Structure 1
């Protein structure tokens, strides 16, 4: 890596940025263009269709929030899919994520044309394309220069947009005609579900934030909170804006219109109202494109890190702290699409891919849970697991079916191209084992999974939780850990411990053994069922040793309590008394963890036992 580049991205985005990126990615064509098309199919029931579409996005929202808090890394969908299902699924997921997001963002910029013509009817198609290309270049440069400034621009755009929509909603409430809401229900259920599928795509932008999780401050809190808040606010705006628009417009004005909100603005405020809502729509499309460039450009970064793409895509500029090659490549692709392609059908393909990605993400959540990898520790837990994932997979499969044969055929061709790239470029380079292998290992009772994914998740946890090693952590890293396979007596256990540390402490083996036994006679060191912390003081200076032991069958410390399976043995000289107390406190905090006992007994090897302690949530001493 050259001197002008670094490997890691910098955490610069706040909870407000997360909210605005997620919200801004949702509010565009789904609100300003699509309602007229849906109204033509289902009439006033369009209000219910939008609410149902929002409900159907919840399985993807909850699953992505869980996966992102467990693995807040650049690449989002790609990272989750590759780590759970392997390199083939990862290649398809990575390319599909980048392609669909880039295409949708380009479409958002071209979609501005519908509203620019409301402001200036003399503008030509070429001028509109030039404006779209200019905006794409501007946001590409902005993304290269600063993620933080990009986030601030997004905050400005989204808050202006929300303010204009609230003005439209509250003023529109005073001009509603209740007769326009009847008849509300229609009998054609297939039309309703098809409409829900169309609107469902509009919520897809909500989960874009997972692709830039590596650049979010305090991701364990800010990502789920920002995503859920964005969902609630956008649902509120969608539902009320559509409700108001139905009450403002006659059927012939609403059905099939590409600018229903702008027409509604004209009804409320006159011609200036139409212009104001057209400006709101332009802000919405621009914010979608900005969020799209920011999010899409992180997929090549993640894929390059895994050697799925050439290495330069992962380079991060030291001056700007942004993956400039990946951003520029994404921007160039969008400019080519805007300038040369008639991509109306390609957008439908991108929508199909997005739904398929949602299905893969739901599967990834299930696989990561069922793999029982100890270092998979999300701070947000998807509710109603696994039923909400199962419902989501079935529902999304139906939406894919409704996208039509042409879109499905093109998607299959795209998948085949991804498989060819995997065969030509990726095969032989991918080294990580997926979580799916861990499930196979559990079923077959064969040791085939290895520890690569467990170790990688451990590194992610260290970065996520900002774990800075203190003296106790350093002691744990070098200490002896013993895994005793069979039930043993207390005397036999202390004999093993004395053998392990007598030479290192320069103390007689028999003296150590007698000290342990004498300490147990004074009072048992069993802290609670399953846990004991034998600790003794020895002569000398600057002496301190820790030995950790697991015995699944149990060690009989005292007859009145169950056998012990987790033992932390502390031996130190008198001058180390203060650290002795701090070590006892650290062990107590580790053992109080909600999943400590389960993880301790399920750990596959000594290094996993060590990680349980090193990655625990506890107060660490400043060095």
Structure 2
């Protein structure tokens, strides 16, 4: 694959960045902002410049770590994954195209002050010329940009210096009459004036010495342009009569005529045309690199990443961007769409700050030459203020941004997802954080004692199954010198009275007590026998567990028929209302299990399940196998994170443990003695299907662990675990 030539030095970087900003932001938007905030528009420009600093620092850092074509798309895609990368790439591509079209259409009114020309044909002609310039090459583009910026700044400097003596302090009276609301609304409007500050990152692959030139270019141009904006707008407000500029299509020309006469108007017209043309030129240059970079990552058709043999530029990408620009100029109301573009730009800047955090906290290779100071507070500030500004953009802008986002998501689902299986650094960072939190919860659960376990016999079971339940409970309490309470719960009709002698002391009842005494001696654990008669077994079990303060309830549970799942089963009610953990046993026998399997379908292993598996293994000198599906599609990052999680969990356990990848396609798998798994979260899906089939079905006793409600992860955490693990 051909590489782009690095031939843009610091002067060209500064020129591209300044030229991308000094356009509509100074020659068009001040008139609109004055209508909203009055003289406080000066402060609005200053605040907007300060609010861009976090994104400028974040983008400077990422640009020196990944000096590749694509800029914002590259950073968000690598940091947040291909889905948000697609949203950022498509959205920023459109927003830059919108801003370029606005600059061209907004510049023509200045030209019409001198010549009687039709607006749209002139704008289309200028756009066509700039498209051809970009097709020729970035080096020529950088040189043209440098010349434009030098001439433009000279004209603006003359306007500011020549007009400053005419400033009248009376024009600043009632500076904050529009209030905070007006100031914030104006800040949101003029924010787009600084959007071009980071555009140079989109051509980072063509910048000489990117570790030095990119941060200097971005931060230097931002500081310079902020000072220039504040100075120009302060002079513009100070020399014109209140209200005379607000709403004008050529506000700077109106102001220049007051102090500099016709010569000043001509100079401003020349500066405005150069500034707006340079904004459009930088917009074509940078926006065309978005489909180019997305194509290289298979998020767009491969033809868009082709580089011209003759000119060394991404001709297909530039041509597509140019076509979109021409269509926008010809048919779309640019001012309204520019507001949509600026709203999306604010959102993208917020994502840039999040992406830096993802890279720093993740495990991806990330070695920037420049690092943002005051991390992560600068990034948090950028995200919060971006959200505040978005609320000031109006319903139409927010709805349009949502539409662009939905369209990008649809493109991802239909085109990208079948072709790309990458994930972002944020997913990896979140996964590792989830794993660390889960390990911390396991350590806390291991520190708790299990003093008493209730074996709830709610069904007529034979002696072998009865013994299995008691023996399992004994293994759970043995290490802590605890007690097993084996209770037979008998339910009688509602019309039958409950009396102290309601229970018939039959031979089988006496046998039950005798058997528990024998089991106590055999197992070396105190086993207490009891029997309770009630009208409602499930309430009786919960009441007994609460009265005795047991640490866990062990009960037998068989797969339910569909009717039982839909209408509810008594043991399911116990799970939801028990004051402690509940262990439901699919009882196929329990005889000193040595190979214990801990199985998880998604997410990390629940602490309660880990504790049960470890305790039983320790009681029988056994070992634990950490089962996890081995035939799922995953990335190298995911596999590395899962391996690290299993390794750390194995170190926490006091018994031998190893990670084991299992097959879910029915292939042969060694059979464990006992399998421990998490309980289902509930819901219609779990009611209709016997969900979470054991992976694979082991044909042995299975213990399903339901932790008490106070120890169950929140719904949001479960979603996060399922999404990342």
1:222-274 CA deviation, whole Å, 9 max, x = no partner?
Answer: 01001111112111211111111122111032233232211121122212211
Deviation string for 1:314-338 (max 9, x for gaps)? 0111221110110011111111111
2:636 aligns with one of 441, 447, 450 = 450
Q: Which of 1 and 2 has greater Rg?
A: 2
Instruction: Check the 8 A contact 2:354/2:379 in 1, yes or no.
Output: yes
Does 1:61 pair with 2:51? no
1:46 aligns with 2:37: no
Q: How does 1:157-556 map to 2 (within 5 A)?
A: 157-186=148-177, 188-373=179-364, 375-443=365-433, 444=435, 450=636
Question: 1:191 Cα shift?
Answer: 0.9
Give CA-to-partner distance per residue, 1:576-608, whole Å, 9 cap, x none: xxxxxxxxxxxxxxxxxxxxxxxxxxxxxxxxx
- Structure 1 unaligned regions, length at least 5: 1-5, 455-485, 487-623
Of residues 138, 144, 155, the one that matches 1:153 is 144
Equivalent position of 1:117 in the other structure? 112
Spell out, residue by residue over 1:146-202, the C-alpha distance to the aligned partner (whole angstroms, 9 max, x if none): 210111000000111111111111111222222222233336111111111111111
User: Which of 6, 9, 17 is equivalent to 1:14?
Assistant: 9
The residue that corresponds to 2:85 in the other structure is 90
- Name the SS of the counterpart of 1:322 in structure 2: coil
Paired with 1:187 and 1:140, the residues of 2 have a C-alpha distance of 42
Structure 2 stretches of 5 or more lacking a match? 437-603, 605-627, 629-633, 641-650, 652-725
Secondary structure in 1 matching 2:174: coil
- Deviations for 1:81-101, whole angstroms, at most 9, x for unmatched residues? 111111111111110011111
8 A contact 1:441–1:449 mirrored in 2: no
CA contact (8 A) 1:304 1:312 kept: yes
CA distance in 1, matches of 2:404, 2:64: 30
Helix, strand or coil: the match of 2:93? helix
Q: What CA distance in whole angstroms lies between the structure 2 residues aligned with 1:436 and 1:173?
A: 50
Give yes or no for contact 2:19–2:145 (8 Å, CA) kept in 1: yes
The Cα of 1:215 is off from its aligned counterpart by 0.7
Distance 1:247 1:345 in 2: 29
Aligned to 2:32: 37
Q: Is the 8 A contact 1:88 1:422 kept in 2?
A: yes
Instruction: Confirm whether residue 104 of structure 1 aligns to residue 95 of structure 2.
Output: no
Question: Aligned partners of 1:273, 1:135: CA distance in 2, in Å?
Answer: 24
CA deviation string 1:400-452 (max 9, x = no partner): 12211222222222222212211111112113332123213422168976259
Q: Is the 8 A contact 2:191 2:342 kept in 1?
A: no
**Cα distance, 1:453 vs structure 2:** 13
Look up the SS of the partner of 1:109 in the other structure: helix
RMSD (CA atoms):
2.1
Higher relative contact order (CA 8 A, sep 6+): 1
Q: What TM-score, normalized to structure 1?
A: 0.69
What is the rounded CA distance, in whole Å, between the counterparts of 2:8 and 2:317 in structure 1? 19
Cα distance, 1:347 vs structure 2: 1.8
Asked if the contact 1:304/1:310 (under 8 Å) is kept, the reply is yes
**Residue 81 of structure 1 pairs with residue 76 of structure 2:** yes
Query: In structure 2, how many angstroms separate the alpha carbons of the residues matched to 1:168 and 1:326?
Result: 38
8 Å CA contact 2:135–2:313 kept in 1: the answer is yes
Query: Residues of 1 paired with 2:83 and 2:137: CA distance?
Result: 33
Question: What is the TM-score with the length of structure 2 in the denominator?
Answer: 0.59
1:453 & 1:398 partners in 2: Cα distance? 38
1:453–1:344 Cα change, 3 Å? farther
State the secondary structure of the residue aligned to 2:113: helix
Given that 2:97 and 2:287 are in contact with CA atoms closer than 8 Å, whether structure 1 keeps it comes out as: yes
Q: 418-427 or 323-332, which moves further after superposition?
A: 418-427
2 CA distance for matches of 1:379 and 1:453? Answer: 29
Mapped partners of 1:260, 1:129: distance in 2 = 20
After superposition, the Cα gap between the structure-2 partners of 1:426 and 1:25, relative to the gap in structure 1 and judged at 3 Å, is: same
Q: 1:43 to 1:433 in 2, by over 3 A?
A: closer
Separation in 1 of the partners of 2:331 and 2:216? Answer: 40
Q: Is the 8 A contact 1:50 1:238 kept in 2?
A: yes
Q: Residue 135 of structure 1 is aligned with which of 122, 126, 132?
A: 126
- SS of residue matched to 1:252: coil
Distance (whole Å) between structure 2 residues aligned to residue 8 and residue 452 of structure 1: 30
| Distance (whole Å) between structure 1 residues aligned to residue 72 and residue 65 of structure 2 | 13
CA contact (8 A) 1:358 1:396 kept: yes
Once residues 271 and 452 of structure 1 are traced to their aligned partners in structure 2, the CA distance between those partners, rounded to angstroms, is 67
Contact 2:101/2:334 (<8 A) preserved: no
Return the alpha-carbon distance in structure 1 between the equivalents of residues 110 and 234 of structure 2. 21
**Which stretch shifts more, 249-258 or 135-144?**
249-258
